[in-house]
Amino acid sequence: MKFRVLAAATAALGLASSAQAANLVVNGDFEAGPTGFGSDYALVVPTVGQAQYSLTTSPCLVHPAFACFDDHTPTGPGLMMVVNGSDSTTDRVWYENGIAVDPNTTYFFSTWIHTVYDLSPAQLKFSININNIGTTFTAGSVADGWQQFFASWNSGSDTTANIALVNQNTAFSGNDFALDDISLSVTAPGGVPEPASWALMIAGFGLAGATLRRRRLVRA
């Protein structure tokens, strides 16, 4: 009986963990191809001009001047979004609209960025529902590898989130980068859940305890 109660508690914790860890962004790792997101840039292979992007397993496969490296997703070589920067500061590099969120909840937005050509690094600005989140992110050098942008956002009265990324660098030469593993979740990077998630886990323990008490009453 103790084992069954432990299993119930474990299942409740698993449910809480799954709920708080879920990524609300569709196809944030780009493994499903050009679906689930939008872009004001043109999907072109190879990516040779401004305001174009490709989905590829390595940047050097779509542009001879770009560096060669794997995507960020730890499950093995996969797709990433490789971008040749626009000369417009309003073109959305990537966006996803209509993401369902709970009101008055803190969410965490994260993505990984990698410069693909060491000249005039991109300057990336992220927003949710038109409001900027975090500060403008200046990409590093190719040697810096994958770097994480991370910011928190409270939904307030909102029940949907429209996320967008624009590039503030308008340089013609350089200004090229890769994106991967875009996410919006109630879990902060590092796996620390928000208070609402703790409440769900505590409720799971309460459910397991109630089950134990009912069984004791029946046996009595």
Mean pLDDT, each 10-residue run in order, the chain (220 residues)? 41 41 93 97 90 96 96 89 96 98 98 97 98 98 98 98 97 96 92 47 46 52
- pLDDT at position 21: 62
pTM reported for the whole predicted model: 0.79
β-pairing verdict for 131-138 and 92-100: unpaired
Instruction: Please state, in angstroms and rounded to a whole number, the distance separating the CA atoms of residues 117 and 107.
Output: 32
Report pLDDT for 216: 52
Q: What value, to the nearest 5°, has the Cα angle with vertex 104 and ends 38 and 200?
A: 100
pLDDT reported for residue 25: 98
At 217 the pLDDT is: 47
Quote the pLDDT of residue 8: 40
So what's the pLDDT on residue 2? 41
How far is residue 149's CA from residue 72's CA, in Å, rounded to a whole number? Answer: 13
Q: Which domains does the chain have, with CATH numbers?
A: 25-190 (2.60.120.260)
Q: How far apart are alpha carbons 49 and 71 in whole angstroms? A: 22
Give me the residues paired with residue 176 across strands: 84
Task: Determine the Cα–Cα distance for residues 151 and 42; give it in Å rounded to an integer.
Answer: 27
- CA distance between the termini of the chain: 15
Rounded distance, CA 179 to CA 96, Å?
14
Helix axes 195-219, 2-21, angle to 10 degrees: 160
Residues in Cβ contact with 207 at an 8 Å cutoff, skipping those fewer than 6 apart? 8, 12
- The alpha-carbon radius of gyration of the chain (Å, integer) is 21
